[in-house]
Structure formats: structure tokens, C-alpha cells
């Protein structure tokens, strides 16, 4: 049976970087007399945007079979003292830089992490500027062909985690923030479906102070109108039907989002 390795990077496809990593992995698999299925998740993560890379992995990884290896390289710290990392979690293995990229998979106690330290599982010559090819791709290929992640290096208990916006209760409401705007301009938030679904039909979402209704899907909105819905990743999203919510609402990563049961109504001025 072929091993599966997914690839998530900010490299784009104009240059040869992705092909170089694939070539390394295919060579290792051939030497192990095994085959690999290489699946591109995305190579269009915004340059150096670790949070966007983490969200792409969070969205895609659960739909791959147990045993899949996820190679992810969004690595503005390449060549520095930052560590290489393999994380085994939920039946998958994640390989890449230790810079917070694997934050979504570090909840609870069910994960194991290892530093990529053993020279046997990297290329003989390691460029200081391309660890994706020389360190991470070899490690991913070896794991996909049967090497236990524990053989890659010492156990780590302190992998780097991103500082996700906190979701907190505020005066009977739930407060979060925008964490990402996708290519459609939809605003992905830090608020999960489990926070929204128990609320009644009168729930109102405020994005940067502007109220939008909660709907079931995009078509429930009139063209050009904003609304909130639970997206396919299980996070609350703000969308504009056939439009761009980021532009219309002038929102970006960090813009506050508030979920409450009832709409605030302006007070009437007495004449």
C-alpha cells in the first residue's frame, strides 16, 4: 500500500521548490521499495503567514486516512535556531518547522512531538535556506515508508504554539476575532460552531461593531448582503453573498467578533 504525504507551503508553483521536495521524497520511497501518493493541499499560503498555513492544515487533515503524513513548510525562520518538528496526533504525523504551524493538533494529551535531529533522516548536505527539501521532506518520506517518528530525534514537550485569539464570555455574549480572510473574502473567525449552535434564532453577530444576521448558507442572503454562518471547517464565518466581506466590512485578522442572543436596538429619542 502506498503511503500518503500531503504538502502545504507558501512556495507557489512558479519556482522549482515544490518539485524539489517531491523529488527527494520519491527517491527515498524508491530506495525503500515503496510508493508514495503525494497530494498538494495548497502552495498558495500567503508568504510567511504561519497562521494561514495552520488553518489550511486544520481544514484539510481530518479528511485524509489515518497514517497520512502532512508535510508543511511556512518557514520565515529557516536557518535560525528554530527546531524541526514531527508531531504525531489523531493518527496522523505532521512534519515541518517548530513555529506554531501545528498548533491545531496540540490540544489535549493525545499528541507526541519529536525534534528532527537524526542525520540519517535528512539529506547529506543541508542548505541553511531550504530545510523543506533537505530536512522536512526526507523526514516525511521516511515516516511515510514506515519509520516511527520517535526515531527522528528526541521527544519534545514544548512545541511552539500560535497565540490564537481567545474566545471568551463577555456580559452574556461570546467574543472572538477574525483569524483569516479566504480568497472569496469570507472572514473565518476564532469562534467554533459549538458556541453558536446552542443559541436561539435571535442570535446576532457583530463584526467590528456592525450587526449581521446568522443564516444557514450563502443563498439565504440577498446578493451583496453580509451575514454569518457556520462554515465547512466548523468555524463561524462572515460572508457577503457574491461579494467580499473583508472589503465590505473593512475587516481583517484581529477584527473583533461578538455573538449575542438579541440585537441591540437604538434608543428612541424623545421629542
Both 60 and 190 in a single domain? no
Asked whether residue 22 is domain-assigned, the answer is yes
Residue 185 lies in a domain: yes
pLDDT of 199: 59
Assessment of whether the complete model's pTM goes beyond 0.85? yes
Claim to verify: residue 113 and residue 175 sit in the same structural domain: no
Domain boundary among 125, 156, 187: 156
Q: Do 100 and 132 share a domain, yes or no?
A: yes
**At residue 244, does pLDDT exceed 90?**
yes
- With left for phi above 0 and alpha for psi between -120 and 50, is residue 224 left, alpha or beta? left
Alpha helices in the chain (DSSP H): 17-31, 50-60, 131, 137-144, 193-196, 245-248
| Domain end point (choices 112, 127, 156) | 156
> Do 26 and 103 belong to one domain?
yes
For residue 179, being part of any structural domain is answered with: yes
What is the pLDDT at residue 7?
98
Residue 266 included in any domain: no
Residues 123 and 174 in one domain: no
Q: 77 and 142: one domain?
A: yes
pLDDT score recorded for residue 91: 96
Question: In the 8-state DSSP scheme, what is residue 159?
Answer: -
DSSP secondary structure code for residue 216 in this structure: S
- Top pLDDT among 112 and 262 is at 112
Grid cell in block for residue 59: 481544514
Whole-angstrom distance, CA of residue 228 vs CA of residue 213: 6
| CATH for 223 | 2.40.30.90
Q: For the domain that residue 129 is a member of, what is the CATH number?
A: 3.40.50.10790
Total domains, the chain? 2
Count the residues in the chain.
271
The pLDDT-based confidence of 267 (bands split at 50, 70, 90) is very low
- 15-29, 61-75, 200-214, range with the lowest pLDDT: 200-214
72 assigned to some structural domain: yes
Residue 247 sits in which domain range? Answer: 168-260
- For residues 154 and 146, is the Cβ–Cβ distance under 8 A? no
Yes or no: say if 164 and 103 are a contact pair by the CB < 8 Å rule.
Answer: yes
Q: Which residue is associated with the grid cell 507557489?
A: 12
What DSSP character marks residue 33? T
Amino acid at each position: 500500500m502506498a503511503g500518503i504525504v500531503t504538502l502545504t507551503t507558501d512556495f507557489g508553483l512558479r519556482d522549482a521548490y515544490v518539485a524539489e521536495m517531491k523529488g527527494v521524497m520519491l527517491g527515498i520511497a524508491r530506495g525503500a521499495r515503496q510508493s508514495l501518493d503525494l497530494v498538494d493541499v495548497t502552495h498558495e499560503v500567503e508568504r510567511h503567514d504561519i497562521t494561514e498555513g495552520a488553518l489550511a492544515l486544520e481544514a484539510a487533515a481530518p479528511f485524509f486516512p489515518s497514517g497520512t503524513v502532512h508535510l508543511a513548510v511556512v518557514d520565515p525562520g529557516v536557518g535560525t535556531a528554530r527546531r524541526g518538528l514531527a508531531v504525531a496526533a489523531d493518527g496522523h504525523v505532521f512534519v515541518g518547522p517548530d513555529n506554531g504551524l501545528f498548533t491545531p493538533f496540540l490540544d489535549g494529551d493525545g499528541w507526541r512531538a519529536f525534534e528532527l535531529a537524526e542525520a540519517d533522516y535528512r539529506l547529506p548536505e543541508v542548505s541553511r535556506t531550504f530545510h523543506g527539501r533537505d530536512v522536512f521532506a526526507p523526514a516525511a518520506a521516511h515516516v511515510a515508508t514506515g519509520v516511527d517518528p520517535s526515531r527522528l530525534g528526541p521527544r519534545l514537550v514544548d512545541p511552539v504554539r500560535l497565540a490564537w485569539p481567545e474566545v471568551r464570555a463577555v456580559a452574556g455574549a461570546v467574543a472572538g476575532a477574525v483569524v483569516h480572510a479566504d480568497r472569496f473574502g469570507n472572514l473565518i473567525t476564532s469562534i467554533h460552531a459549538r458556541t453558536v449552535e446552542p443559541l436561539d434564532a435571535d442570535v446576532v453577530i457583530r463584526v467590528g461593531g456592525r450587526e449581521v444576521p446568522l443564516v444557514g448558507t450563502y443563498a439565504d442572503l440577498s446578493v451583496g448582503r453580509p451575514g454569518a454562518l457556520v462554515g465547512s471547517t466548523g468555524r463561524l464565518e462572515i460572508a457577503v453573498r457574491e461579494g467580499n466581506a473583508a472589503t465590505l466590512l473593512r475587516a481583517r485578522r484581529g477584527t473583533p467578533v461578538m455573538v449575542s442572543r438579541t440585537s441591540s436596538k437604538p434608543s428612541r429619542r424623545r421629542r
